[in-house]
């Protein structure tokens, strides 16, 4: 179309800053004619508000964040809990405490996977950065090479989780407070037992033993409560080290023998010394075995026997606790590991809280093992759980050990779910 000089035109003027003019050397000339024409502006957050999609996203309480391939935040709607650091970069102000962060996860998968998705439950805003605490369930989707490589949705579950959080805070606080005096009582009982060894008369020895067993049991209950509160808030820690099952058992053996003998059960232990070493958190696995033995005692009869055994099974060592007690019908077995579950019969017969097996499962699964129960009503039960043989997970543990140190240095402490170690 021809155009006369001086007449108005609707043609779009050339853009002096276009790369092609730079190459051809026309840039300066065009700038002289058309002025320093601004290239298309990058959309600002206010411009974004104009698009119906962004306006819609800003209306919802679900946070939406998009990261580019460098994990840089390129979009965040108004519900997204982000903050800006001193370099002017936006970052996600969440406290992943016990789990790999989104960045850890992306680091792990981005070289191996084209597409991946991961979910996190109950992730709080970082209290040091965001004052009004909120708790989200988080879903991150990754697709390699796209402009929006990672999309993160943060579903605000504060209404559900915050009241629960307060309860858990109270429970943890109360359990923690109880722990102090219980430890003192147990300490003095140990001293008395030692001091008076061989000097007690009549029923005195038995009374002292019963007192010790009760104090130890109380201590286990409090530990269970504390651990459930920690687990529910994702604060449960397990540190996996090379250990043997017999070594772990040795640290609870005296307590267990005393518990069994004061309740008139025969406790026999068959843990071969030559089993391969396992990857285990010593204290937690002691608690698991202790809980299973406690149950075997509780749900059996005077004079009954309780047997602890261990054997190698593939890449795992399986530890079993068997009793010839009240047992349970098959339909009950599936529910046993749920929180607060207690079978109808045991509710009538024995006092309990229904959290022992729940925490056992949490501990075992965080080691990458599994826990199962076999039972027959009026015949007895066998509870078995597996722990990974150390050699099978060693490399992964050492690799992650470095990650641990880094995270510890960050000051948040390191807690990790080791279920992902296998396979
Ligand atoms: P609690 O013993 O405090 O009730 P647990 O979580 O340890 O809580 O156990 C849950 C339920 O599983 C018990 O209430 C009982 O019904 C059943 N149970 C656990 N161990 C045994 C066992 N060895 N024999 C029979 N029933 C058992």
| Ranges of each domain in the chain | 1-40, 45-156, 236-422
Residue 423 pLDDT level (bands cut at 50, 70, 90): very low
Stronger pLDDT, 339 or 390, i.e. the higher one = 390
Nearest CA to ligand 1 atom 3: 352
The token duo for 261 is 């003998």
d(CA 419, CA 279): 12
Average pLDDT rounded to a whole number, residues 190-195 = 93
Determine the distance separating the centroid of ligand 1 and the alpha carbon of 338, expressed in angstroms. 11
Residue 102 per-residue DSSP state: H
- As for ligand 1, residues whose beta carbon falls within 6 Å of it are 291, 295-296, 299, 323, 325-328, 336, 341-343, 346, 352-358, 381
Helix segments in 196-244, DSSP class H: 204-232
User: What are the phi and psi torsion angles at 136 (to 5°)?
Assistant: -120, 155
Nearest CA to ligand 1 atom 25: 327
pLDDT recorded at residue 63: 95
pLDDT recorded at residue 415: 32
CA distances from 214 to 84, 217, 239, 266 (A): 54, 5, 29, 18
pLDDT recorded at residue 407: 29
pLDDT recorded at residue 120: 93
Residue 47 pLDDT level (bands cut at 50, 70, 90): low
Candidate of 288, 354, 384 to mutate for ligand 1, largest count of ligand atoms within 8 Å of Cβ? 354
Residue 375 pLDDT level (bands cut at 50, 70, 90): very high
Class of domain 236-422: alpha beta
In this model, does residue 346 exceed pLDDT 80?
no
pLDDT recorded at residue 348: 74
Contacts 24+ apart (CB under 8 A), 243-246: 243/277, 243/278, 243/279, 243/280, 243/282, 243/285, 243/390, 244/273, 244/275, 244/277, 244/278, 245/271, 245/275, 245/278, 245/310, 245/317, 245/319, 245/387, 246/271, 246/272, 246/273, 246/275, 246/310
In this model, does residue 9 exceed pLDDT 90?
no
**Which residues contact residue 302 at a Cβ distance below 8 angstroms, ignoring those fewer than 6 apart?**
263, 264, 265
Q: Which atom of ligand 1 is nearest to the CA of 354?
A: 8
Determine the distance separating the centroid of ligand 1 and the alpha carbon of 295, expressed in angstroms. 6
Nearest CA to ligand 1 atom 13: 342
Displacement of CA 391 from its chain's centroid (Å): 24
Q: Which fold, 45-156?
A: Beta-Lactamase (3.30.450)
């Amino acid at each position: 179309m021809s155009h006369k000089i001086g007449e108005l035109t609707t043609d779009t003027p050339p853009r002096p800053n276009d790369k092609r003019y730079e190459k051809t050397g026309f840039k300066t000339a065009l700038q002289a004619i058309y002025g320093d024409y601004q290239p298309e502006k990058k959309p600002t957050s206010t411009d974004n508000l104009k698009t119906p999609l962004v306006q819609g996203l800003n209306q919802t309480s679900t946070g939406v964040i998009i990261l580019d391939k460098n994990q840089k935040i390129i979009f965040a709607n108004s519900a997204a809990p982000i903050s800006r650091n001193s370099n002017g970069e936006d970052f996600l102000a969440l406290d992943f405490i016990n789990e790999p962060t989104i960045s850890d996860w992306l680091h792990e998968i981005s070289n191996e996977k084209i597409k991946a998705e991961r979910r996190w439950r109950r992730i709080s805003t970082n209290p040091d950065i965001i004052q009004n605490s909120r708790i989200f369930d988080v879903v991150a989707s990754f697709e390699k090479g796209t402009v929006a490589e990672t999309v993160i949705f943060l579903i605000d579950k504060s209404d559900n989780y915050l009241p629960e959080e307060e309860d858990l805070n109270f429970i943890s606080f109360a359990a923690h407070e109880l722990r102090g005096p219980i430890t003192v009582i147990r300490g003095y009982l140990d001293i008395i037992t030692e001091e008076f060894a061989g000097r007690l008369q009549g029923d005195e020895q038995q009374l002292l033993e019963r007192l010790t067993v009760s104090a130890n049991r109380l201590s286990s209950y409090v530990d269970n409560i504390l651990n459930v509160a920690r687990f529910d808030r994702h604060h449960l820690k397990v540190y996996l080290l090379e250990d043997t099952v017999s070594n772990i058992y040795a640290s609870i053996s005296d307590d267990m023998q005393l518990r069994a003998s004061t309740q008139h059960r025969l406790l026999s232990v068959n843990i071969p010394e030559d089993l391969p070493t396992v990857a285990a958190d010593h204290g937690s696995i002691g608690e698991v075995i202790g809980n299973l033995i406690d149950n075997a005692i509780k749900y059996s009869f005077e004079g009954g026997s309780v047997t602890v055994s261990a054997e190698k099974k593939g890449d795992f060592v399986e530890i079993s606790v068997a009793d010839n007690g009240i047992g349970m019908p098959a339909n009950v077995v599936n529910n046993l590991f749920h929180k607060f579950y207690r079978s109808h019969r045991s509710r009538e017969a024995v006092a309990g809280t229904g959290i022992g097996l729940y925490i056992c499962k949490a501990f075992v699964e965080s080691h990458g093992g599994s826990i199962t129960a076999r039972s027959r009503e009026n015949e007895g039960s066998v509870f078995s759980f597996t722990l990974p043989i150390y050699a099978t997970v060693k490399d992964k543990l050492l690799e992650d050990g470095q990650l641990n140190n880094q995270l510890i240095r960050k000051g948040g402490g390191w807690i990790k779910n080791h279920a992902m170690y296998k396979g």
